Structure 1
Amino acid sequence: MTQYHSRKLTTTENTVALLWVFAIEHWTKIILYGFIIFLLLRMTVHILNTYLNHFFKWILQIKKLLETTKEVLEKPYEEFLWNDYEFCKRYLDLYAKFRELRLAAKKSNSNALDVNAMEFIRFDDVKLCRRIKNNEENREKETCSEEEESEEDEEESE
């Protein structure tokens, strides 16, 4: 009968075998240390998250960013711009980003949405899609009435 020699384990197989033996012998310590590390990480993240949320809002200057974005959205634009597909697309993209930023600003450190956040409540009402109408007649009337008023003022001063 032929005798077979046992195959020599590769480095990977040997490492896995040693880890398996260690895990079986020390399974209670592994579970205990894993649980302790998990609790320490959760406490650290909770403590840091409380302060980091306010810090990031301050660093990013969310109030100024929301104010400038709201001004851009509420600014009246010429009529021909509203007929441009790219302008309308970018305008709506900006409005979507504004809404996302507003919601992120209203979230607390526990990631709960505070709907009644007083510091950001003024950004809830945005008047969108304002237009400047190009009426040449209105412009001419305005210039004529201004000239008439200036002539009347000159006559009164004399």
Structure 2
Amino acid sequence: MSADTAVNTAANEVMEDGTPISTERFLTFSSDGLNIGVSTNYVIEIITNHAITMVPLVPDYVKGIINLRGQIIPIIDIRLRMGKPAIEYTSSTCIIVLNINSVYIGIIVDAVQQVMDIDQDRIAPVPVENQQELISGMISSSERSVILFLDCEQLVQSY
């Protein structure tokens, strides 16, 4: 970030519009009633209604592959990957295509919600007793809502 786009203050570094420097954009989606966020730095696009080609001898959470403009992308049902039960896909079900360290992967989610600016300093670690290998942190987003954050690096390693 260049010096002319940020203003240094004694307490925190903030941008000219007052947004903290540690703020990052996250795309939020729902899966099995959970609100999950993924950094928009990884998001390539959101697609719906795309034919998935089944692949034999893969774990049940790997639904297959798609050909997206010549790029072969494996598709994972994030619900199944997190150990949740399968459901019928609906009109709000979509695929979020991610680029994680030059590895393209698509995740099937129940519904995309919104893009949010979140102060990374407010993201808390997941308590050890509730540890989920694909969740890197969490934040309270409203009075009764919590957003969990997808650990994209771990998603690719465990794929």
Same fold by TM-score greater than 0.5: no
Higher helix share: 1
| TM-score, normalising length: structure 2 | 0.22
Structure with the greater alpha carbon radius of gyration: 1
Name the one with the larger strand percent.
2
